[in-house]
Amino acid sequence: MNRTDLFESLAIQHRSRLINQAMVLCQDHDMAEDLVQMTLIKAQRHFDTYDTEKSSFINWTLRILQRTFIDDFRSKKRRNEVSIEAFSAYVQVSDDVEFDCEDVNADTEAKIIQLETMAAVNEMIDRLPIQYAEALRLCFIEGESYESIAEKHNTTIGTVRSRIHRARKMLAEQNAEHQVVNL
């Protein structure tokens, strides 16, 4: 399978997960679709730099999606541009036809801080040995139970618990060393 076919296969396989994450960020289906489209264009453009040994395709594209969202927000903020959907979501019309506007940027800035923190944590997870990183992601990001993780990896629940415990300990050590995230 050549790189183009590999990219198309992976993009199709993970598109719904990208859409779900984009919906969390945008809270509008059309905007989420646009964000995923921009993400996949960027990913395809830079697919030659993607290293299958370093990270999974979904983690790589989720980081691109998050950074694209942040960059788009910052450029709109510089242009002082707000979409009609975002405006209508934050404006209340009273009987006197007066507008009570909330700060649209405060909510989005909090999301950006959360995204940047998540990106930093994902980078720390990428540095863990693969068996620990996978167990941690399946448990905390995918929300899977210890039992289902054990089944997927053909191991015992005790091993899964041990891997997650060690992974959390390694993350805490990385964070203490580099102070990536304020805990």
Q: What is the mean pLDDT of the segment spanning 152-178?
A: 88
User: Is the pLDDT reported for residue 183 higher than 60?
Assistant: no
Angle, helices 29-45/3-26, rounded to nearest 10 degrees: 150
pLDDT over threshold 70, residue 133: yes
pLDDT in tens, 69-109: 888 776 665 555 445 455 444 433 334 434 344 455 556 67
Which token pair is 9? 């296969």
**Res. 146: pLDDT tops 60:** yes
Asked if domains 1-104 and 127-183 share a fold, the reply is no
> Which CATH number applies to 127-183: 1.10.10.10, 1.10.357.10, 3.40.50.620, 2.30.110.10?
1.10.10.10
For residue 88, the model assigns a pLDDT of 45
- What pLDDT is recorded for position 92? 39
pLDDT confidence of residue 52: 75
Q: What is the pLDDT of residues 45-68, one digit of tens each?
A: 999 888 877 778 888 898 899 888
- Span 113-117, average pLDDT: 74
Alpha-carbon distance of 125 to 171, in angstroms, equals: 7
End-to-end CA, the chain: 44
Break the chain into its structural domains and give their ranges.
Answer: 1-104, 127-183
User: Residue 89 class from Cβ within 10 Å (0-12 exposed, 13-18 middle, 19+ buried)?
Assistant: middle
Tell me how far apart the alpha carbons of residues 145 and 27 are, in angstroms, rounded to a whole number: 28
Supply the pTM of this predicted model. Answer: 0.50
Q: What pLDDT score does 79 carry?
A: 55
Instruction: Work out the pLDDT band at 178, boundaries 50, 70, 90.
Output: low
Contact (CB, 8 A) for 32 and 19: yes
The fold for domain 1-104 equals: Rna Polymerase Sigma Factor; Chain: A (1.10.1740)
**158 vs 103, higher pLDDT:** 158
Per the model's pLDDT, the better-predicted residue between 90 and 11 turns out to be 11
